[in-house]
Amino acid sequence: MSDDNESWEHVMVTPSRRTDPSLQDLPRELLAVAAVLIGVGSALGLAGLAMGAAALATAGRRWYSRADLTPGELARLKWEQAKAAAGASSGAWRETELAKYSPRSGRPT
């Protein structure tokens, strides 16, 4: 039994040796550089987002000025175009389905 106690004593951690993490372990200079880089990256990202939004707004204004229609007429035109495209695609879908695949009820058993 004494052999077990002696081997256990070598494994025990002494109180003067700290094994838990501490804030003193953090490299503060590295954290400061990381924070600065995150801030610079965020600022650049926001600047890019603002430039993209400005470009889209300019393109929308140019398109609207070329349209020569009131906003209501332009909205109605786009709605009619969307309905026509949806109707054409659904019609083509149905025609292809009927031409290439027969319904189960019409198949010979």
pLDDT tens by residue, 47-106: 999 999 999 999 989 988 888 888 888 889 989 999 898 888 887 777 777 777 766 666
- What are the sequence ranges of the domains in the chain? 27-68, 69-104
For the full predicted model, state whether its pTM sits above 0.75.
Answer: no
Residues in the chain: 109
Cα gap 20→22, rounded to integer Å: 7
